[in-house]
């Protein structure tokens, strides 16, 4: 299938382009970006121009930040193209509901991807937890925003989600592996004095689960989740890639290179089946944290 990539920035170049190049199912036929390009691929600066010029492009994969995402997604769906969304699927829940309605009306596929769910140890963790009772869970997602999102000012603008940009990856794993649904009880959000999105957040959820998200981590970076159950302890480390059971290594692989090929394979299946896949449960937890969370103002932040 011919696919166009929209928003040629860090994730498009780091993950989408190599995943597409390695797959016999996909042909990267066009890009849409104001500045970014991919060598040897026809480049457009506006989505409407691409949609008009390239009716042969069946799938549009959006790697934009969340705020500009809706307009591009709606344009592609209305032009009858199947659409794949980077996480988070939008800047608000209501706009993603609208995208779902447009996709239904047009009879095309909408896939809201959660790349962390394709991490190496997530499926095994889900199987292990399936018949256990969670007594307590602790998520620690602490990374250095200057290292992973250098100069990405959009992340601290309203709708950029701040520390929930990585934190929602943890919540996407959590909502996928828990045998029962979880909901938010309370939250505390730290907003830098000069920014409109939080730099750190602490969440308290049902089933004894807490989360500590922080963008100010220096030294070792941590993307861990640990659960105590009625029949042993499970830990997922390195963003869902390594599994530990009762403190012992139990599988996985410390690389994220398998995640995006898995997402494109799932997109190919969805298009073939005429289906969509839009699970908003991670984003509901984030929205609830903004709704229920107490706000603290902390030191100003600059890249």
Applying CB under 6 A, the residues found at the interface with ligand NAP are 7-12, 33-36, 63-66, 68, 86-87, 115, 148, 152, 154, 165
C-alpha span between 98 and 33 (Å, rounded): 24
**Nearer Cβ to ligand NAP (12/236):** 12
Instruction: Return the number of the residue (19 or 129) whose C-beta is nearest ligand NAP.
Output: 19
Residue 285 Ramachandran class (φ > 0 left, ψ -120 to 50 alpha, else beta): alpha
Cα 173 from Cα 126, distance rounded (Å)? 9
Question: Residue 229 Cβ, how far from ligand NAP at the closest point, in Å?
Answer: 29
Nearer to ligand NAP by Cβ, of 154 and 215: the residue is 154
Sign of CA dihedral 237, 270, 67, 203: negative
Question: Is the distance from CB of 63 to CB of 86 less than 8 angstroms?
Answer: yes
- Indicate the angle between helix axes 66-78 and 93-106, nearest 10 degrees: 10
Q: How far is the CB of 153 from ligand NAP (least distance, A)?
A: 8
- Closer CB to ligand NAP, residue 31 or residue 109? 31
Instruction: Compute the least distance from the CB of residue 233 to ligand NAP, in Å.
Output: 28
At its nearest, how many Å lie between ligand NAP and the CB of residue 232?
A: 31
Residues tagged active-site: 87
Nearer Cβ to ligand NAP (68/208): 68
Report the residue number whose CB is nearest to ligand NAP. Answer: 9
Calpha distance 121→147 (Å, rounded): 25
- Distance of alpha carbon 196 from the chain centroid: 20
The answer to whether 72 touches 65, Cβ cutoff 8 Å, is no
Identify whether 106 is preceded by a cis peptide bond (ω within 30 of 0). no
- Residue 38 vs residues 17, 34, 274: alpha-carbon distances, Å: 8, 12, 29
CB of 161 to ligand NAP, least distance (A): 8
């Amino acid at each position: 299938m011919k696919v166009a990539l929209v928003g040629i920035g860090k994730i498009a170049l780091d993950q989408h382009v190599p995943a597409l190049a390695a797959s016999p199912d996909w042909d990267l036929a066009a890009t849409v970006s104001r500045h970014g390009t991919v060598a040897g691929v026809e480049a457009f600066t506006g989505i409407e121009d691409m949609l008009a010029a390239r009716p042969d492009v069946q799938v549009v994969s959006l790697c934009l930040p969340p705020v500009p995402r809706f307009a591009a997604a709606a344009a592609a769906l209305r032009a009858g193209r199947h659409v794949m969304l980077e996480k988070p699927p939008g800047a608000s829940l209501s706009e993603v509901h609208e995208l779902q309605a447009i996709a239904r009306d047009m009879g095309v596929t909408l896939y809201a991807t959660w790349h962390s769910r394709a991490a190496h140890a997530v499926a095994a963790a889900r199987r292990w937890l399936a018949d256990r009772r969670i007594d307590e869970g602790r998520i620690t997602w602490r990374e250095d925003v200057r290292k992973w999102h250098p100069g990405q000012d959009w992340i601290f603008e309203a709708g950029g989600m701040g520390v929930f940009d990585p934190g929602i990856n943890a919540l996407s794993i959590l909502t996928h592996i828990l045998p029962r649904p979880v909901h938010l009880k309370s939250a505390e959000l730290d907003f830098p004095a000069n920014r409109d999105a939080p730099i750190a957040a602490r969440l308290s959820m049902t089933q004894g689960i807490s989360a500590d998200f922080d963008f100010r981590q220096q030294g070792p970076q941590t993307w861990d989740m640990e659960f105590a159950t009625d029949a042993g302890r499970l830990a997922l480390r390195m963003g869902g890639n390594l599994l530990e059971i009762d403190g012992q290594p139990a599988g996985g692989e410390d690389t994220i290179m398998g995640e995006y090929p898995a997402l494109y394979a799932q997109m190919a299946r969805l298009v073939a089946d005429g289906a969509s896949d839009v699970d908003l449960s991670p984003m509901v937890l984030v929205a609830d944290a903004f709704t229920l969370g107490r706000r603290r103002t902390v030191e100003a932040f600059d890249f």
